[in-house]
């Protein structure tokens, strides 16, 4: 158990809908990262937050957005969902922005029908 929690574990929804994925980092970790894992793309970095502020951005679509709250939990919002958004979404956390080691949560499996 990495100490990173994610909810929900599974999410099934329809195209065009909007969903919110939630992540709680390990106790004391200030940095949160979001990744998308699909069969044909591997682990793709989406976005990083550090202590409430956006720190780095990867291949995140404009339909996707994220934020980190004062209690350090983070939410990833996915809107106007398409079939191709079906994937595993992982959150990872690290102690601070200068730390290399990331600890991953168990993921949220999103299925868009």
Partner 1 sequence: GENVEQHPSTLSVQEGDSAVIKCTYSDSASNYFPWYKQELGKGPQLIIDIRSNVGEKKDQRIAVTLNKTAKHFSLHITETQPEDSAVYFCAAKMAGGSYIPTFGRGTSLIVHP
Q: Which of 50, 68, 76, 87 binds partner 1 (CB under 8 A)?
A: 50
CB of 112 to partner 1, least distance (A): 20
| Residue 25 near residue 73 (C-beta atoms within 8 A) | yes
Residues whose CB falls within 8 Å of the CB of residue 98, separated by 6 or more in sequence, listed in order: none
CB closer to partner 1, 31 vs 74: 31
CB of 59 to partner 1, least distance (A): 11
Determine the Cα angle at 61 with ends 47 and 11, to 5°.
80
Q: Which of 19, 24, 102, 110 binds partner 1 (CB under 8 A)?
A: 102
Q: Which of 24, 36, 48, 74 binds partner 1 (CB under 8 A)?
A: 48
Q: 65 has which bridge partners?
A: 77
- 43 Cα distance to chain centroid: 12
φ, ψ dihedrals at 41, nearest 5°: -120, -5
Token reading at 91: 């959150």
Binding range to partner 1, per CB under 8 A, among 13-21, 38-46, 65-73, 77-85? 38-46
Residues that bind partner 1 (CB under 8 A): 2, 4, 31, 33, 42-43, 45, 48, 50, 55-56, 58, 90, 92, 94, 96-107
């Amino acid at each position: 158990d990495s100490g990173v929690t994610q909810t929900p574990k599974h999410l099934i929804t329809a195209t065009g809908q909007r969903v919110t994925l939630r992540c709680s980092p390990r106790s004391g970790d200030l940095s949160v990262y979001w990744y998308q894992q699909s069969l044909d793309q591997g682990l793709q970095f989406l976005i990083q937050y550090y202590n409430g502020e956006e720190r780095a951005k990867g291949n995140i679509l404009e339909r996707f957005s994220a934020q980190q709250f004062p209690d350090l939990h983070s939410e990833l919002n996915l809107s106007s969902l398409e079939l191709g958004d079906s994937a595993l979404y992982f959150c990872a956390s690290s102690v601070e922005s200068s730390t290399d080691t990331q600890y991953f949560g168990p993921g949220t499996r999103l299925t868009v029908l």
